[in-house]
Structure 1
Amino acid sequence: MTNKRPMTFEANENVLCFHGPLLYEAKILKTDWRVLDPPHGDEGACYLVHYRGWKQTWDEWVPESRALKMNEANLAKQASLKESYPGKKKTVPKTSTSTESSDRGKKRAKDTSVDKEEDFTKRPEIKVPIPDSLKAQLVDDWESITKNQQLVPLPKTPNVVEILDMYREFKKDKKAKSDEILQEVLAGIKAYFDRCLGNMLLYRFERQQYVDIRKRFVGKDDSEIYGGEHLLRLFVQFPMLIAHTSMDQDSINALRENLVDMLKWMQKNHKDLLLSEYENASPAYQSIVKS
């Protein structure tokens, strides 16, 4: 029997909640004692949370370890996480010397922005649930790099290409159906990884490492150098990435099914795919980054 101590949070309380490596404002809808990640997890205090500004389809039960009190210290931590984690760069609108043309430009820009927003909201939504043990890995990943100033040793073994091949063999042994679809999905994951790593998947502290490693391995793709830690970060970004494609609902459903299955496989094989300890960055590296 679990020793049920008093819960830290209450229903209707506003909190900060980890979703992937970032903290988001959320409201606790319900509280309960349950096992979130069977059969590996233990029973504990859990909370049904609604993320502020997100659709109800993103409501989820989370363990107490993912929730933080809404206070100044944790709000500062949220801001630090957001600043450290790679994201979209803001674009600066161009100016015009003509007032009339500037007004027309602003109107066109506004109309275009509205159209894009309407198109975006009409696109099919994809939700890729990440197992709680892998979410914990993402949090540890962030802390190791941004707080402890450590790095993933590169080139990583197994790398992303090798991980995708391992998963392909796993599905082959399971006599999985729709092998052609699986091949397309894995090829798509590799393409997304190679396209996104340098722009979206690196923390600020890792960027100098990226510059250095690309000089050493000029003829290789990023997916042949980086491994599961950065692949897991890509899975966090997939809902946003896919929302900006022209995929139909059937294609999205097939992709989501394969992504969810692969995450479960990564969870079961995390000891072979993901680091338990990161390497300390050298004083010389830290000096370059700070300068």
Structure 2
Amino acid sequence: CPRGRKRKQDSVDTEKNVVPSDNLLSFHIPPALRRQLIDDYEFVTQMHKLVQLPRSPNVDDILKKYVDTQIKKHGRVTDSVEEILKGLRCYFDKALPVMLLYNNERKQYEETVTADVSPSNVYGAEHLLRLFVKLPELLIHVNMAEETLKELQDNLADILRFLRKKQSLFFVSAYKAVEEMEKKED
């Protein structure tokens, strides 16, 4: 995020306590997950390798596991966390074909995601992590109360910490060459 943006927060109209989230949504992507994003980018765009689909665990599984850890930790899941997870899944399903795929992943998407299948049932942590990078720009025009924005940021940061803790379980360690995947289908 550009540094100058945060200062806008100081001059926010606090009378109504509603701020246009003009890129005020910001959360820290842990270094290990940033490395994961870079590796993912290099595997797909430079080495022409893809994540084998369908992924296990998929995005839905990961979000369910997050709910389970919340229940273990706090005895319940708050309504706001449930709403955020529902929204995250919805944003994922809508954003994946539009902005979360690299060009050489499009053919795989078209072959894998059919009308009766949602992307969150097919794709996994690699693509979910890409959504976190895009979320600030996706939510830029959403007006929300300052405390709601803060809560959203805190929850998204917590989900990122969860992904980081479970990184070895959720992310693939090896991508497949496109040719290998095409041979398998024959």
TM-score (ref. length: structure 1): 0.55
Structure 2 counterpart SS, 1:55: helix
Partner Cα separation in structure 2 for residue 124 and residue 249 of structure 1: 13
| Alignment match of 2:65 (pick from 154, 159, 166) | 166
CA contact (8 A) 1:228 1:274 kept: yes
The corresponding residue for 2:12 is: none
Are residue 55 (structure 1) and residue 1 (structure 2) matched?
Answer: no
Displaced runs of 4 or more, over 6 A = none
Which whole-Å deviations, capped at 9, do the CAs of 1:216-245 have from their partners, x for residues lacking one?
xx3111111111000000000111111121
Partner Cα separation in structure 2 for residue 172 and residue 142 of structure 1: 34
Mapping of 1:36-75 within 5 angstroms?
54-55=3-4, 57=6
Are residue 224 (structure 1) and residue 156 (structure 2) matched?
Answer: no
In structure 2, relative to structure 1, the CA distance for the partners of 1:142 and 1:166 (3 Å cut) is same
Mapping of 1:81-230 within 5 angstroms?
123=22, 125-175=24-74, 179-215=78-114, 218-230=115-127
The corresponding residue for 1:234 is: 131
Higher RCO (CA 8 Å, separation ≥ 6 residues): 2
CA contact (8 A) 1:228 1:273 kept: yes
Structure richer in strand, relative to its length: 1
| Alignment match of 1:253 (pick from 144, 150, 156) | 150
Q: Structure 1: which 5+ runs fail to align?
A: 1-50, 59-119, 286-291
In structure 2, relative to structure 1, the CA distance for the partners of 1:57 and 1:176 (3 Å cut) is farther
In structure 2, relative to structure 1, the CA distance for the partners of 1:176 and 1:125 (3 Å cut) is farther
Measured after TM superposition, the shift of residue 57 of structure 1 is 3.9
Measured after TM superposition, the shift of residue 176 of structure 1 is 6.1
Q: Structure 2: which 5+ runs fail to align?
A: 8-18
Structure richer in helix, relative to its length: 2
Structure 1 counterpart SS, 2:33: helix
Measured after TM superposition, the shift of residue 149 of structure 1 is 0.2
Taking every aligned residue pair, what percent have the same amino acid on both sides? 34
TM-score (ref. length: structure 2): 0.84
Partner Cα separation in structure 2 for residue 166 and residue 242 of structure 1: 25
In structure 2, give the amino acid aligned to 1:239.
P
In structure 2, relative to structure 1, the CA distance for the partners of 1:264 and 1:271 (3 Å cut) is same
Instruction: Provide the alpha-carbon RMSD of the alignment.
Output: 2.3
Measured after TM superposition, the shift of residue 249 of structure 1 is 1.7
Partner Cα separation in structure 2 for residue 244 and residue 148 of structure 1: 36
In structure 2, give the amino acid aligned to 1:175.
H
CA contact (8 A) 2:5 2:24 kept: no
